[in-house]
Amino acid sequence: MARHLPLSLLISLAFPLAHGAEPTLPSVSVTAKGYAADDLETPASTLSLDRHELDRRGAANPGEALRGEPGLAVASDSAQGQNPVIRGLGRDSVVLLVDGMRLNAAQPAGAIASFMSLGLAERIEVVKGGGSVLYGTGALGGAINVLLPQARFTPGLGTRAAASYDSASQGLRGTAVMNASEGDHALMLGLSLARIDDYRAPEGRVARTGYDSNALISQYRYRLDARQQLRVSLQVHQDKDVWYPGSTRPHNAPAVGTTTIHSPDQERRLAEIGYARKGTGDTPLNLDLRLYHQELERGIYSWANRLGRDIVTNQVTFATTGLDAKADWLAHPEHLVSFGLNAWAMTGDPDRLMATPASGFTSFTANTPFRNARVQAVGLYAQDDMSFGRLKLLTGVRYDLVRSDADNMNNGARSTGLSRSESALSGNLGAIYQLSPLLRPYASYARAFRAPGMRERYESGLRGDGYYYAGSPEVEAETADQFELGLKGADESVDYSLSAFHNRIDNYITGQILSGSAATQACGSANAANCKKTVNLGSATLTGIDARARWQFQRDQWLKAGYSRVRGENRDLDEALFQMPADEISLGWQGALRPRLSGDFTLRLVARQDRVATTFTRGAENPTAGFVTADLGATWQIDARNTLRLALRNLADKTYHEHLTEGLSGQEIKAPGRSVQFAWRGRF
């Protein structure tokens, strides 16, 4: 029966594919329901990019790969730091996962989504809209899951490798993934290297956009029997000499001029042990257990551009230990129940030194934002996936408890009143009905929540909008209620989805402008003229439409189109929400040119963004001009195992920047200009 599909797909993903099979299931997501499920039976807006599509885009990180997709945008402060944005909600309101494990950090600059090598990934999956039932705190906007290779029980030794060159950055990238298996043992090893120079924009080289990256992943699987497996996974990602030119800001000391944040070294390390069991019989019960530990270690420095040296140094490690336990039970051929436990604890203890003006910025004193901060979260969920003929229902509920604490904050000035505990009840309810294969209307409601992050509670300092923020341990969690109506369908020649949503966020966490004695008390006299405090405002709303469609107008010839529109309102200030993506249309073609040779063309038409927050930022968010870019590519299938690709990016050498690019008003870094990309991919 059709209702067995999720179980069979779960088995195919958890217990790897036969040799030579491609793990590309373009209409399947494991992120939307927590197990492999057909998108056409899911009452939500989802997106999946497989390895073939990632190769075609030639992207360096998840943010770049997802840019231009309906409902998605990217916020960037550098070439390396590009954060995905879902329906107007950024990194604090989106849960990022790697192989289902959440990446936690309190990021002052850069993108946590860039702490992985996209060249090693097999797939990216996105779920748009509230996802707290499965992913807990932070999933107001949705979830993004980057799926890396898994060790597979395919006899013998197999390897895939790739190399690419990008003329705009003179960047070289290379990856290799090896899988070896014999009997009940399987081993996967992956390696990725990148050497990226400052890229060229139409107006010239953009300084400080180069960096180096190295990544190593590995996994060992042991098959206890036909139903049970043990696994051990290790991941290491390193970046060297990463600068964030979008963070450049004027300093109040003339001798300093401006400052720019940079990271000489940053590294993410992750270790996981896991157990998986697949059920048997008419009502199988599948289990998956994992224990993982992740450390994200960074040096975060502030460079004085006029002095030519660092005036702030900051070393910090954000360490997360997590436990995930989940199960799904096919109680009936038309009834799949899933339930689980997620628990994690993150710690952070930055060591920050600041140069003193009295010494001419040559002597350093400690100025630690907080000491031994801790965030702990525990969540229990249950989900019911039901089928009544053509009608599919999905309902879920979750309870979370989040605790935050720190020894002290603001360089030891405050050590009391720092503990906070919050509980939240999340839920979802969705229905999709198949009138025909091409006509499947759906409706859904999701309630999600986000507890304040470590920086919002405990760190005081300059933020991306140019204000000095005072941390606030008292700030409370925000909740979001999203309603969505949609339509989707697919057959052999048409594939489309359309969704309209309304998302209301209560207890909205943001910065409130302070003045006078309140500003002096919160931010200190040196920052009183430019002071905000993290607070809960009443509410904010986001409404929008996103749509995509593909049409095979003749054999092996496809036309594509996409549309995004988001309107955000800060209801307390009666103005547009800060940093909303511009309206966008994308048009494209993909098709066969001749045997073994295919081509593609993509056109992005991005509208002028003049719906900006003026009161919230005191005019610091400026309108952004609209732009049009075009990309052209061709792929040659040399043989069954090797492909070559040639692509031209920004064909017209257009000068532009995305609206969500960080930087002083009018001085945002420009996007890369015309670029030629060469890429090879092969299997052995």
pLDDT at residue 24 is higher than 70: no
Q: What is the mean pLDDT of residues 538-558?
A: 95
Per-residue confidence (pLDDT) for residue 16, from 0 to 100: 36
Which tens digits make up the pLDDT trace of 175-202? 999 999 999 999 999 999 999 999 999 9
Question: Per-residue confidence at 465, pLDDT binned at 50, 70, 90?
Answer: low
- H or E element in which residue 228 lies: strand 228-250
pLDDT at residue 503 is higher than 70: yes
Residue 385 dihedral angles phi and psi, to the nearest 5°: -115, 110
Q: Which two tokens stand for residue 40?
A: 């056409």
Single-letter code of the amino acid located at 620: A
Rg (CA), the chain: 25
Looking at per-residue pLDDT, the higher value among 509 and 401 belongs to 401
Per-residue confidence (pLDDT) for residue 662, from 0 to 100: 86
Residue 657: count of CB within 10 angstroms of its CB: 19
Identify whether the C-beta of residue 550 lies closer than 8 Å to the C-beta of residue 585.
Answer: no
Q: Which two tokens stand for residue 417?
A: 């009143």
Looking at per-residue pLDDT, the higher value among 616 and 291 belongs to 291
Per-residue confidence (pLDDT) for residue 392, from 0 to 100: 97
Instruction: Please enumerate in sequence order all residues whose Cβ is within 8 A of that of 219, keeping only pairs 6 or more positions apart, or say none.
Output: 149, 150, 151, 187, 188, 231, 232, 233, 234
pLDDT at residue 534 is higher than 90: no
**End-to-end CA separation in angstroms for the chain:** 38
Determine whether 359 is exposed, middle or buried from the number of CB atoms within 10 Å of its CB (0-12, 13-18, 19+).
exposed
Q: Which of 2-11, 415-424, 578-587, 621-630 has the lowest mean pLDDT?
A: 2-11
| Domain parsing of the chain, residue ranges | 2-683
The alpha helices in 101-236, defined as continuous H runs, are: 132-135
Q: What is the mean pLDDT of residues 151-177?
A: 96
Single-letter code of the amino acid located at 117: S
Q: How far apart are CA 410 and CA 458, in angstroms?
A: 8
Residue 20, CB-side half-sphere exposure with 13 Å CA sphere:
1
Per-residue confidence (pLDDT) for residue 21, from 0 to 100: 34
Q: Which two tokens stand for residue 651?
A: 């064909």
| CA angle (81, 300, 201) in 5-degree steps | 35
Q: Which two tokens stand for residue 93?
A: 């309101």
Q: Which of 20-29, 75-84, 548-557 has the lowest mean pLDDT?
A: 20-29
Closest alpha carbon to 428 in 467, 480, 390: 480
Secondary-structure class of domain 2-683 per CATH: mainly beta
Q: What is the mean pLDDT of residues 486-490?
A: 97
Single-letter code of the amino acid located at 89: L
pLDDT at residue 554 is higher than 80: yes
Determine what percent of the chain falls in helix, strand and coil, rounding each to the nearest 5.
Answer: 10, 55, 35
Percent of the chain predicted with pLDDT > 90: 76
